[in-house]
Amino acid sequence: MKTFDIPGFYKSHIISRVKELRRNTDPRKKDYTPTLLDFGPVRFYIARHFGFCYGVENAIEISFNAVAENPHKRIFLLSQMIHNPEVNSDLQTRGVKFLMDTNGKQIIPFEELRKEDIVIIPAFGTTLSIEEKLRSIGIEVHKYDTTCPFVERVWKKAEKLGEDNYTVIIHGKYNHEETRATFSRSEIHSPAIIIKNIREAEKLGNYILGKSNIKEFTSSFSERISSGFNPETDLKHIGVINQTTMLASETQEIADYFRRIMLERYGKKDLISHFADTRDTLCYATNENQEATIALLKQPADLAIVVGGYNSSNTSHIVELCEQKFPTYFISSEKEIISKEKINHFNFHAQSHHATDHFLKPLLPIKIILTSGASCPDAVVERVMMKVLSFYENVIAPDKVMEEVMKMH
């Protein structure tokens, strides 16, 4: 796989070495067991896969190149390049300005742009209408386009479904940049509709089976359907794609559900013409990170710390998995760990910040699950680890810990 030129300050002495060791000893990625870092009073279980993925490294390289290659030009990002506050802040300190926030709200009007300006397309991609606005100004849209190749793969799947006369059902978050971009491309090839979860899938299924009426359909989905969408005819032939960072198990559950619905509605003989049995369209990194998180759940740990941007979809799903077994703390950096007694963290379900006291148990050794989202630098994860270790005495030196890890692998 291609390697990228990533700034050294995103790498780390311990975490990056652990990753490199696991890549070398398990090149085929068959082993999902975590790595144990035993510092004595604290033991960290490090996920097999986490942190920067192919798409994120690609986006970082292109974005930093854009800054280096255009020292005298104004440089803009359509919105956050990835959902990580440190990476976005690094670009801002280098003079890059955001045109929109993550929900699509304009910060700098397009009318203020000039054709000689540089505009970076974020890793999530963007809508066709925004691309057209930029072209009308005279900006080279794809010169610094960091759209993840795995997102583009979903767009091609949507196009193929449209060519085969299937309506596209997108499993995604309606306001997420990637879902908006995917929707804009889906609707030019076929009718398209966005659903967030299995509960919304069931509402749609009830309409397909005639268990709900058009008024109920419109109430639930009127703002998430393509122009001219006719549920009476457009839900006779369907296929499922997704936002690449959604929970893999839920996407599969949704696809299986719609297959059962169409089987009930049209019978086995005609099923293939009414339901496109698409392969899951999550990216490889999302799958690997989620599988590695599931492997973490087998460990006898006291708590889990998940590091990443609070608006990061893939990170929130890792949190969701960890919550199944452990007290889980979703933090953006080591700054949220105030002391041995207190941690500030984010509840993505309620979209609110909380403070928890006595999150570190008094009984030693304390066992901590540690992982991050796909847009989180290794350096941030390491700073979190070192912040926790700073609260304890008689901590084994990192080099000694790494010697033991290398013996085990």
- Predicted confidence at residue 167, as pLDDT, reads 98
Token pair 């599969």 is found at 252
Sorting pLDDT into bands at 50, 70 and 90, what band is 290? very high
* 3-state class (DSSP) for residue 156: helix
Tell me: cis bond preceding 365? Omega within 30 of 0 counts: yes
Judgement on whether residues 45 and 126 belong to the same structural domain of the protein: no
CATH code where residue 132 lies = 3.40.50.11270
* 3-state class (DSSP) for residue 211: coil
In this predicted model, what pLDDT tens digit does every residue of 228-261 receive, in sequence order? 999 999 999 999 999 998 988 899 999 999 999 9
Among 110, 137, 164, give the residue marking a domain's end: 137
Sorting pLDDT into bands at 50, 70 and 90, what band is 1? low
Residue ranges making up the domain that contains 113: 54-137
Q: Given a cut of 80, is residue 282 above it in pLDDT?
A: no
| Inside any domain, residue 3 | no
Least confident of 61-70, 125-134, 278-287, 349-358: 278-287
- Predicted confidence at residue 281, as pLDDT, reads 74
- Predicted confidence at residue 280, as pLDDT, reads 66
Residue range 61-88: average pLDDT? 94
CATH code where residue 189 lies = 3.40.1010.20
Judgement on whether residues 298 and 398 belong to the same structural domain of the protein: yes
The CA-CA-CA angle for residues 211, 212, 214, to 5°, reads 140
The single-letter DSSP state of residue 122 is P
| Inside any domain, residue 351 | yes
The single-letter DSSP state of residue 9 is G
Judgement on whether residues 301 and 246 belong to the same structural domain of the protein: no
Judgement on whether residues 108 and 13 belong to the same structural domain of the protein: no
In this predicted model, what pLDDT tens digit does every residue of 12-22 receive, in sequence order? 999 999 999 99
* 3-state class (DSSP) for residue 347: strand
Judgement on whether residues 122 and 211 belong to the same structural domain of the protein: no
| Inside any domain, residue 1 | no
Judgement on whether residues 101 and 186 belong to the same structural domain of the protein: no
| Inside any domain, residue 22 | yes
Q: Given a cut of 90, is residue 131 above it in pLDDT?
A: yes
In this predicted model, what pLDDT tens digit does every residue of 186-232 receive, in sequence order? 999 999 999 999 999 999 999 999 999 999 999 999 999 999 999 99
Among 250, 282, 314, give the residue marking a domain's end: 282
- Predicted confidence at residue 181, as pLDDT, reads 97
- Predicted confidence at residue 283, as pLDDT, reads 78
Residue range 340-359: average pLDDT? 96
Summary mean pLDDT of the chain: 94
Which strand ranges, in their side-by-side order, compose the sheet holding 303-307? 35-38, 42-46, 366-372, 303-307, 328-331
Among 282, 313, 346, give the residue marking a domain's end: 282
Judgement on whether residues 200 and 123 belong to the same structural domain of the protein: no
- Predicted confidence at residue 278, as pLDDT, reads 82
- Asked whether 59 and 123 are in contact (CB, 8 A), the reply is yes
- Predicted confidence at residue 336, as pLDDT, reads 98
Judgement on whether residues 273 and 154 belong to the same structural domain of the protein: yes
- Predicted confidence at residue 33, as pLDDT, reads 95
Catalytic residue (choose from 131, 177, 178, 336): 178
- Predicted confidence at residue 247, as pLDDT, reads 86
Q: Is 57 a catalytic residue?
A: no
Residues β-bridged to residue 328: 304
| Inside any domain, residue 44 | yes
Judgement on whether residues 257 and 268 belong to the same structural domain of the protein: yes
* Domains identified in the chain, total number: 3
- Asked whether 14 and 398 are in contact (CB, 8 A), the reply is yes
| Inside any domain, residue 143 | no
Helix, strand and coil percent figures for the chain, each rounded to 5: 40, 15, 40
| Inside any domain, residue 2 | no
Judgement on whether residues 78 and 13 belong to the same structural domain of the protein: no
Q: Given a cut of 90, is residue 266 above it in pLDDT?
A: yes
Residues β-bridged to residue 368: 44, 303
- Predicted confidence at residue 248, as pLDDT, reads 84
Q: Given a cut of 80, is residue 185 above it in pLDDT?
A: yes
CA Rg, the chain, in Å? 23
Judgement on whether residues 275 and 302 belong to the same structural domain of the protein: no
Q: Given a cut of 70, is residue 135 above it in pLDDT?
A: yes
Judgement on whether residues 227 and 217 belong to the same structural domain of the protein: yes
For the chain, the straight-line distance linking the first and the last C-alpha, in angstroms and rounded, comes to 23
Residue range 285-310: average pLDDT? 94
Residue range 376-391: average pLDDT? 97
Rounded to whole angstroms, the Cα distance separating 384 from 163 reads: 48
